[in-house]
């Protein structure tokens, strides 16, 4: 990287001001209490769908832009390029426009129409690859070709965010829980795409010396769970996750296994059935990974009940369901993919009747 000129330095300062001013205009996200059938256990959903770009990737994109700007990696006029399964690209397209830079998203061809439309609406360009494992090299190549910067969320997510606090998602959750009957959660339940959110929350729990445990739910075909169980980082499945935003074909560099207390595999049909179940109970449409999170949270609630333990569980509403009307909310789309929700909907009904979610065997 060449040294920053005085002109570039002034441009960087203005870009940082715009990103900070945007944060200053934004409000914190809500923490909804969701009534569940397990007495003594309270479940909360941190609603990350209410960010200006509709998902928890708004926080990540802001952090990545500030990190890259302060490092001198983003220069006036140079395009920002990202490898993404969609949501990060939507949020980065927003910040690229805010600071006045071109944006290119390198994404799997399977990315939802709704997300592509959003990226283009923010002025971004979409570049497609067939295999989900091809996004990394292709994004690097595109950045070199156009003299741009490859943002590389999968490497930098865990370090671009200040895990000690600075109003990160973990600090916000603990502040919002302060007046609840169980203010310190027994469990926080999340899922992993970059792994950045679980790294931030897990480190914060340890740094603040909370007894709270962290569970990460993983969808079908994802490398994270095997990598965590075997304590290795070279697991490669090569398969695309059907739950957008989470589950990866390789263990991403931002996945910090050492801060995770437990992991759970959640079948895709269970995630989607629980997504619909949650939307009905909450009165707002949630996305697929929120279904994964809530299935895992109800599993944890059932285990707590069996152990005679009271307490609270906090999980994330990662994005809204409007982005998935032509996929997870479309019965024909599910049927084409052989996804049968009925057995999982029945288990959820049994949960409502008994307060115990039948476990997967």
Instruction: Confirm or reject binding of residue 197 to ligand PLP (CB under 6 A).
Output: yes
Is residue 51 within 8 A of residue 26, CB to CB? The reply is yes
> CB under 6 A: which stretch of 24-32, 138-146, 187-195, 271-279 binds ligand PLP?
187-195
Question: Measured from the CB atom, is 46 or 75 closer to ligand PLP?
Answer: 46
Question: Measured from the CB atom, is 37 or 116 closer to ligand PLP?
Answer: 116
Question: Measured from the CB atom, is 188 or 304 closer to ligand PLP?
Answer: 188
Question: Measured from the CB atom, is 266 or 356 closer to ligand PLP?
Answer: 266
Instruction: Provide the CB-side half-sphere exposure for 116 (13 A, CA).
Output: 12
Is residue 222 within 8 A of residue 245, CB to CB? The reply is no
Q: What is the DSSP string of 37-95?
A: SSTTEEEEEEEGGGSTTSBTHHHHHHHHHHHHHHTT---TTPPEEEE-SSHHHHHHHHH
Burial class (CB in 10 A: 0-12, 13-18, 19+), 179: exposed
Instruction: Confirm or reject binding of residue 227 to ligand PLP (CB under 6 A).
Output: no
Is residue 38 within 8 A of residue 302, CB to CB? The reply is yes
Instruction: Confirm or reject binding of residue 192 to ligand PLP (CB under 6 A).
Output: yes
Instruction: Confirm or reject binding of residue 249 to ligand PLP (CB under 6 A).
Output: no
Instruction: Confirm or reject binding of residue 246 to ligand PLP (CB under 6 A).
Output: yes
Question: Measured from the CB atom, is 42 or 319 closer to ligand PLP?
Answer: 319
**Sign, Cα dihedral of 171, 173, 179, 182:** negative
* Residue 77 CB, nearest approach to ligand PLP (Å): 29
Which position among 57, 149, 242, 347 is part of the footprint of ligand PLP (CB under 6 A)?
A: 57
Per the listing, tokens 């944060």 go with 23
Instruction: Confirm or reject binding of residue 161 to ligand PLP (CB under 6 A).
Output: no
Is residue 160 within 8 A of residue 67, CB to CB? The reply is yes
Question: Measured from the CB atom, is 257 or 355 closer to ligand PLP?
Answer: 257
Which position among 108, 148, 196, 291 is part of the footprint of ligand PLP (CB under 6 A)?
A: 196
- Tell me the number of residues near ligand PLP by CB under 6 A: 18
* Residue 268 CB, nearest approach to ligand PLP (Å): 14
Contacts (Cβ under 8 Å, ≥6 apart) of 347: 270, 357, 358
DSSP secondary structure code for residue 147 in this structure: T
Phi, psi torsion values for 360, nearest 5 degrees: -80, 130
Draw the binding track, 273-312, toward ligand PLP (x: CB under 6 A; -: no contact).
Answer: --------------x-x-----------------------
Question: Measured from the CB atom, is 42 or 158 closer to ligand PLP?
Answer: 158
* Residue 14 CB, nearest approach to ligand PLP (Å): 29
Instruction: Confirm or reject binding of residue 245 to ligand PLP (CB under 6 A).
Output: yes
β-strand partners of 104: 81, 125
First-last CA distance in the chain:
53
Per the listing, tokens 């340890």 go with 206
Instruction: Confirm or reject binding of residue 318 to ligand PLP (CB under 6 A).
Output: yes
Q: Given the rule CB under 6 A, which residues bind ligand PLP?
A: 55-57, 87, 157, 191-197, 245-246, 287, 289, 318-319
């Amino acid at each position: 990287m060449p040294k920053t000129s005085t002109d570039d330095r002034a441009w960087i300062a203005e870009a940082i001001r715009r990103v900070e001013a945007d944060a200053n205009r934004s409000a914190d996200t809500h923490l909804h209490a969701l009534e569940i059938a397990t007495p003594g256990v309270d479940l909360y959903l941190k609603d990350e769908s209410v960010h200006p770009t509709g998902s928890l990737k708004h926080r990540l994109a802001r952090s990545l832009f500030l990190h890259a700007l302060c490092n001198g990696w983003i220069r006036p006029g140079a395009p920002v390029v990202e490898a993404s399964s969609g949501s990060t690209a939507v949020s980065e397209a927003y910040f690229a426009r805010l600071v006045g830079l071109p944006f290119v998203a390198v994404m799997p061809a399977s990315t939802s129409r709704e997300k592509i439309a959003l990226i283009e609406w923010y002025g971004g360009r979409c570049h497609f690859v067939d295999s989900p494992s091809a996004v990394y090299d292709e994004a690097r190549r595109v950045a070199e070709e156009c003299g741009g910067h490859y943002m590389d969320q999968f490497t930098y997510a865990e370090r671009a965010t200040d895990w000690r606090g600075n109003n990160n998602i973990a600090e916000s959750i603990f502040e919002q829980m302060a007046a609840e009957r169980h203010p310190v959660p027994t469990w926080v339940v999340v899922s992993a795409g970059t792994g950045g959110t679980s790294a931030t929350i897990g480190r914060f729990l340890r740094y603040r010396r909370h007894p709270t445990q962290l569970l990460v739910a993983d969808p079908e075909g994802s490398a994270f769970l095997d990598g965590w169980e075997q304590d290795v980082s070279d697991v490669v499945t090569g398969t695309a996750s059907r739950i957008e935003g989470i589950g990866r074909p390789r263990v991403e560099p931002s996945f910090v296994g050492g801060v995770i207390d437990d992991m759970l595999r959640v079948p895709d049909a269970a995630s989607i059935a629980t997504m619909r179940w949650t939307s009905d109970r909450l009165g707002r449409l949630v996305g697929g990974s929120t279904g994964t999170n809530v299935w895992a949270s109800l599993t944890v609630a059932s285990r707590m009940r069996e152990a005679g333990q009271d307490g609270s569980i906090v999980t994330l509403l990662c994005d809204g369901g409007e982005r998935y009307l032509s996929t997870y909310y479309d019965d024909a789309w599910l049927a084409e993919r052989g996804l049968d929700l009925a057995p999982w909907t029945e288990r959820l009904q049994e949960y409502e009747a008994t307060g115990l979610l039948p476990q997967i065997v």
